Amino acid sequence: MILTVTPNPSLDRTYEVPALERGEVIRAAGERMDPGGKGVNVSRAVAAAGRRTVAVLPLGGAPGALVAELLDAQGIEVAPVPVAAGATRSNIALAEADGVLTKINAPGPELSQAEQELLLDTVRSHSRDADWIACCGSLPRGLAPSWYADVVTRAHAGGARIALDTSGRALLEALRARPDVVKPNAEELAEAVGRPLATVGDALKAAEELRAMGARAVLASLGADGQLLVSDTGAWFGSARVSAVRSNVGAGDASLAGFLIAGGTGPEALASAVAHGAAAVRLPGSVMPTPADLDPAAVTVTADIPLDRELTEPVS
């Protein structure tokens, strides 16, 4: 079982539009409504693969009730933490025909001290049967930047393995607790080391620095350029052919799910991560791929990392 923790979930609405023109009336070609948040998406991808998953998340108001309903319909066990004041945030994504995505993310409710403690207790009570605990996304108002570090410490004390997907100070604080794997994208990786990334070699060096800060392994998403896995057993680079990108919403979350489904270690898990991420970008909105959507033959994983390859979108 894979347990996911999403401290700041959302109700996501995605609209497909021909082009985004400021000040104009735009008619959407399609729309979707999905339960959102990085950990929620990981659970959705795990469930789509036919694996058991439990989603721990604070929920409030009508949007929170709808998130729980949508997750239940997808076969995901929900372990909710009721939020008394404020509603679960609603986010909007505008996906243009050329693949450009514009997102509007709401801040979400503020958690009281009692709700924070209940969130930790809920994670602990469901962690005993978990092969992995995936802690993902931004922290809501009320939670200190060290909150993820506390979760990692408690999980390790109970014998669980932790995968962490967050950024900024929350990531840096959590590195001290030595999470088993962290999954930054290129921008988050550059922010963590405090310098730009122009090549795959730059990203590899940054991932190694995150390991020196405490991460036991780093799974770095480099967008269309592929993914890196760096651990104490080696480093690998994975990429996949993608004919057309429809939406990259949740692609990184699908990658993390694929990585954990395949065991969460080594080149085989990296290949699964790349396959899931490549499948996700071919689907609308934040739809998570099923096994039928995967194309393992399009995936290449190698220990011969192309250090001099320039990133398609360098990070400043």
Contacts of 34 (CB under 8 A, 6+ apart): 11, 12, 14, 44, 70, 285, 286, 287
The burial class, CB within 10 Å (0-12 / 13-18 / 19+), for 25 is exposed
Q: What residue spans define the domains of the chain?
A: 2-315
Helix (H, G, I), strand (E, B) or coil at 311: strand
pLDDT at position 101: 84
Helix (H, G, I), strand (E, B) or coil at 312: strand
CA–CA separation, 253 vs 234, rounded Å? 23
pLDDT at position 316: 83
Active-site residues: which are they?
Answer: 253
CA–CA separation, 137 vs 57, rounded Å? 11
pLDDT at position 27: 93
Look at the pTM and tell me if it is higher than 0.85. Answer: yes
pLDDT at position 97: 87
pLDDT at position 56: 98
Q: For the chain, what is the largest distance between any 2 Cα atoms, rounded to a whole number of angstroms?
A: 55
β-sheet bridge partners, residue 10: 36, 89
DSSP string, 40-107: HHHHHHHHHTT--EEEEEEE-HHHHHHHHHHHHHTT-EEEEEE-SSS--EEEEEEEETTS-EEEE---
DSSP state of 296: G
In this structure, what are the phi and psi dihedrals at residue 286, rounded to the nearest 5 degrees? Answer: -110, 35
CA–CA separation, 178 vs 156, rounded Å? 9
Contact 293/277 with Cβ under 8 angstroms? no
Q: For each successive 10 residues of the chain (316 residues), what is the average pLDDT?
A: 96 91 92 91 96 97 96 95 94 87 90 94 92 95 94 92 97 97 97 97 98 98 96 97 82 97 97 97 87 96 97 89
Query: Right CATH number for 2-315 from 3.40.1190.20, 3.40.50.720, 1.10.357.10, 3.40.50.920?
Result: 3.40.1190.20
pLDDT at position 119: 95
